[in-house]
Amino acid sequence: MFVHTFMTTLNIDEKTRNWLDTQAKRWSPDISAAWKKFSAHHSPLAPPTFFERIELSWERRAAFRQIKAAIQHRASQRKEGSDS
């Protein structure tokens, strides 16, 4: 769902959409099918719905929490390595 909401939020233009359609022919069948399904139901100019914006906001927050935790973990590993 994140990819669908993200792509909708980007409001990709027709040129980019055509390029992605061309690239989709080279992707694995699963990914290509997912792109075709998404592409068929989403206009490149359609803004995200209210609920899509809320969902994207929550997913973005979760991603940032994971990134922050990974950075803090990496920083603590470096600190432990320099203390030795």
Output the average pLDDT for the chain. 78
Task: Count the domains in the chain.
Answer: 1
Instruction: Give the pair of three-digit tokens for residue 8.
Output: 């909708």
Residue linked to tokens 């973005």: 60
pLDDT at 62: 92
| Per-residue confidence band for 9, with pLDDT thresholds at 50, 70 and 90 | low
If residue 48 lies in a helix (H) or strand (E), which one and from where to where? Answer: none
pTM listed for this prediction: 0.42
Residue 11's φ and ψ, nearest 5 degrees, are 50, 60
Q: How far apart are CA 45 and CA 53, in angstroms?
A: 15
Q: Residue 26: which domain range? A: 2-83
pLDDT at 61: 93
| 33-41 LR contacts (CB < 8 Å, sep 24+) | 34/3, 38/3, 38/4, 38/7
> pLDDT per residue over 38-64, tens digit each?
777 665 556 778 998 898 899 999 999
pLDDT at 45: 55
